[in-house]
């Protein structure tokens, strides 16, 4: 997902591909965030109530660059109050809008890299590129960075420039999809794309039919692990795991 005020790359899974959503979630994500210093927001972004803190004059490029390394690696992060994260089966933002008290516990997230792209001393804004794992909130990162610098900060713009192997160059504007009508399928990507870190096993017609009936097929080696099972046309039939008998048990089977 992306926050309503954000833009950028958003994979959309359709039909049977929704069953591999968890593997898409595991892809690293790259963002370019615009952070405004000297102010705070109750939502962590420009959609909330903005309150002046110290003023951006307390911040400079050197201080930001010195603070960023503290946010790399596995760190604890408290999710934003206004977020889709669920508590008791309900999104936090719904509870927050009703004025309910919400307990937010810190979670461990991972930031692989973070760097300052540029800093506008007049506007008090910085553009920061972040590459992270799943569950990291850029709004929380902006707030935590502002707190670390003693100035306050909020996220004023956000673009997701990549998720896994998909970049902005691969993305199709929503307006283009709508205008294409039934021709939108021309932009569909292979369903096995999120699984390509696993070896592929090519099945003949009989093997594909057996897998679709839930039957195991021989593994090509003794290494075990997970495999993509592809039919004669190269389409994803299933993914499975090899057991101790060197046979691949289907874990998710997709319709023809």
Contact assessment for residue 87 and residue 165, using Cβ atoms and an 8 Å cutoff: no
Q: Given 133, 152, 167, which residue is the final one in a domain?
A: 167
Q: Are residues 214 and 148 in the same domain?
A: no
Higher per-residue confidence, 110 vs 53: 110
Write the CATH number for 207: 2.30.130.10
**pLDDT (mean) for 108-136:** 97
Domain presence at residue 20: yes
Q: Are residues 54 and 146 in the same domain?
A: yes
- For 152-168, how does the pLDDT look when each residue is reduced to its tens digit (9 = 90+)? 999 999 999 999 999 99
Q: Are residues 63 and 159 in the same domain?
A: yes
Domain presence at residue 178: no
Phi, psi of 36 (to 5 degrees): -100, 125
Q: Are residues 28 and 85 in the same domain?
A: yes
The pTM of the whole model exceeds 0.85: yes
Domain presence at residue 25: yes
Q: Are residues 203 and 131 in the same domain?
A: no
Q: Are residues 228 and 162 in the same domain?
A: no
Domain presence at residue 130: yes
- For 69-87, how does the pLDDT look when each residue is reduced to its tens digit (9 = 90+)? 999 999 999 988 766 677 6
Average pLDDT, the chain: 91
- Of 114, 173, 105, the C-alpha closest to 138 is 114
Q: Given 167, 183, 216, which residue is the final one in a domain?
A: 167
Q: Are residues 158 and 72 in the same domain?
A: yes
Instruction: Say which range, 87-96, 108-117, 247-256, has the weakest mean pLDDT.
Output: 87-96
Note if 192 is an active site residue. no
Give the DSSP H or E segment for 252.
strand 247-253
Instruction: Say which range, 99-103, 137-141, 158-162, has the weakest mean pLDDT.
Output: 99-103
Number of structural domains in the chain: 2
Which DSSP string do the residues of 27-84 spell out, in sequence order?
S-EEEEEEEEESEEESSSBTTS-EEE-S-GGG--HHHHHHHGGGGSEEEEEPPPSSSS
pLDDT at 94 over 80: no
In this prediction, residue 237 carries a pLDDT of 97
Q: Are residues 137 and 206 in the same domain?
A: no
pLDDT at 255 over 90: no
Q: Are residues 16 and 118 in the same domain?
A: yes
Write the CATH number for 32: 3.30.2350.10
Contact assessment for residue 229 and residue 254, using Cβ atoms and an 8 Å cutoff: no
Q: Given 151, 167, 183, which residue is the final one in a domain?
A: 167
Q: Are residues 18 and 62 in the same domain?
A: yes
Q: Are residues 63 and 148 in the same domain?
A: yes
Domain presence at residue 235: yes
Q: For a pLDDT cut of 70, what percent of the chain falls above it?
A: 91
Domain presence at residue 86: yes
- For 168-209, how does the pLDDT look when each residue is reduced to its tens digit (9 = 90+)? 999 999 999 999 999 999 999 999 999 999 999 999 999 999
Q: How confident is the model at residue 99 (pLDDT cuts 50, 70, 90)?
A: low
Catalytic one among 3, 45, 144, 192? Answer: 3
Domain presence at residue 187: no
Residue numbers of the domain that contains 108? 7-167
Q: Are residues 100 and 134 in the same domain?
A: yes
**pLDDT (mean) for 40-52:** 86
Domain presence at residue 1: no
């Amino acid at each position: 997902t992306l926050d309503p005020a954000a833009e950028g790359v958003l994979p959309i899974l359709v039909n049977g591909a929704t069953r591999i959503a968890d593997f898409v979630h595991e892809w690293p994500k790259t963002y370019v965030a615009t952070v405004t210093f000297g102010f705070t927001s109750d939502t962590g972004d420009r959609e909330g109530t903005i309150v002046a803190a110290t003023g951006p004059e307390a911040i400079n490029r050197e201080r930001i660059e010195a603070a960023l390394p503290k946010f790399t690696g596995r760190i604890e992060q408290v999710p934003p109050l206004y977020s889709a994260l669920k508590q008791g089966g309900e999104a936090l933002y719904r509870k927050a809008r009703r004025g309910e008290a919400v307990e937010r516990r810190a979670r461990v997230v991972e930031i692989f890299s973070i760097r300052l792209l540029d800093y506008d001393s007049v506007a008090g804004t910085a553009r920061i590129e972040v590459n992270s794992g799943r569950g990291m909130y850029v709004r929380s990162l902006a707030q935590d960075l502002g707190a670390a610098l003693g100035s306050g900060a909020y996220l004023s713009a956000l673009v997701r420039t990549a998720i896994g192997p998909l970049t902005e160059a691969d993305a199709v504007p929503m307006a283009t999809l709508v205008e294409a009508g039934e021709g939108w399928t021309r932009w569909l990507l292979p369903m096995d794309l999120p699984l390509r870190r696993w070896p592929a096993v090519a099945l003949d017609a009989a093997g594909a039919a057996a897998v679709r009936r839930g039957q195991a097929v021989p593994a090509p080696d003794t290494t075990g692990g997970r495999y993509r099972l592809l039919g004669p046309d190269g389409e994803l039939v299933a993914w499975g795991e090899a057991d101790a008998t060197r046979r691949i048990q289907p874990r998710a089977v997709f319709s023809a």
